[in-house]
Amino acid sequence: MKLIIHGGFFSESLTNQEVKKAKQEALRDIVTKGYEYLQTHTATETVVYTVSLLEDCDLFNAGTGSQIQSDGKIRLSAALMDGKTQKLSGVINVEDIKNPIQVAEKLMAFPDRVLSGTGGQDFAREHGFEHYNPEISQRRQEYEKKLSDSIRLGTVGCVALDAEGNIAAGTSTGGKGFEMPGRVSDSATTAGNYANQFAGISCTGVGEDIVSASVASTIVTRVTDGFTIEAATKKTLDEMKPYDGFAGVIGIAKNGDVFHADTHPYMVWASHDGNVQVFN
């Protein structure tokens, strides 16, 4: 059994040691809880549980503490993919939801599995998800000061390999902050979140760059075709160099190989296979 999570990219690695340490400690705690949960649950159940913990931690840009868009509103996106069934479900740009990954999980049982905007919100309300304001004061202060030059790419994600050999991946984001309303990131698409029986990938970074390279699905396809997850990831990220693509990747292959990589050295991540590793 293996588990790996990420907390996205963050500029504090070089500028704020207190925030850096807090994020590292949060990831250590969450990956430990997620790995314990994995002992008695499936990969898909574990991904939902672990991403929910990440969404509830206001240090990251997903769920509570998400970035505010240019019109002053918070909109959330999340996706879940079960590698065994190869079904992806998700929500795009929904408002006033605490845990969008849980709405994505609920959608897995429906024929229309990816909903956006008010459609996603209406679905959530109809299925018991109460109104919740994910804003925290820090994000409002950043918005009011228009700190668009301070990139806080804190999308969260999780990939799990369970005892039965099944893989699942989940990704959740509040967007990049100050973006144009209606902008769609990679997180709720197969470019940013993908899994099958051979591998699972969750991405973070600049959504437009990740979509341009179809990063997650391309890596998984290459692993399916015989690449190691390391070789598949490196080749895919290399293909982003012509436009200086900004991306980070976490993944697990069917054989148990766990891999992470980024094009810019600021992704924070943690893994657990009986031993915890936390890095940025």
By annotation, the residues acting in catalysis are 155
* 137 marked among binding-site residues: no
Which residues, in sequence order, are bridge partners of residue 259? 251
Is 236 annotated as ligand-binding?
no
Looking at the DSSP bridge assignments, the partners of residue 249 are: 203, 261
Determine the Cα angle at 6 with ends 95 and 2, to 5°: 120
CB distance 4 to 46 below 8 Å: no
* Torsion of Cα atoms, 62 then 224 then 276 then 12, to 10°: -40
Measure the CA angle with vertex 84, ends 155 and 206; round to 5°: 20
- Structure-derived torsion over alpha carbons of residues 156, 160, 266, 149, reported in degrees to the nearest 10: -20
184 has binding-site annotation: yes
Burial of 178 (C-beta count, 10 Å sphere; 0-12/13-18/19+): middle
Residue 56 has which token pair?
């509830």
Annotation-wise, does 186 bind a ligand? yes
Tell whether 183 is in a known binding site: yes
Considering only CA atoms, which of 167, 163, 197 is closest in space to residue 80? 167
CA distances 222 to 21, 199, 217, 219, Å, are 35, 10, 9, 5
H/E element, 204: strand 199-205
Whether residue 205 is annotated as binding a ligand: the answer is yes
Residue 49 is given by DSSP the state H
* Binding-site residues from annotation for substrate: 183-186, 204-207
* Binding-site residues from annotation: 183-186, 204-207
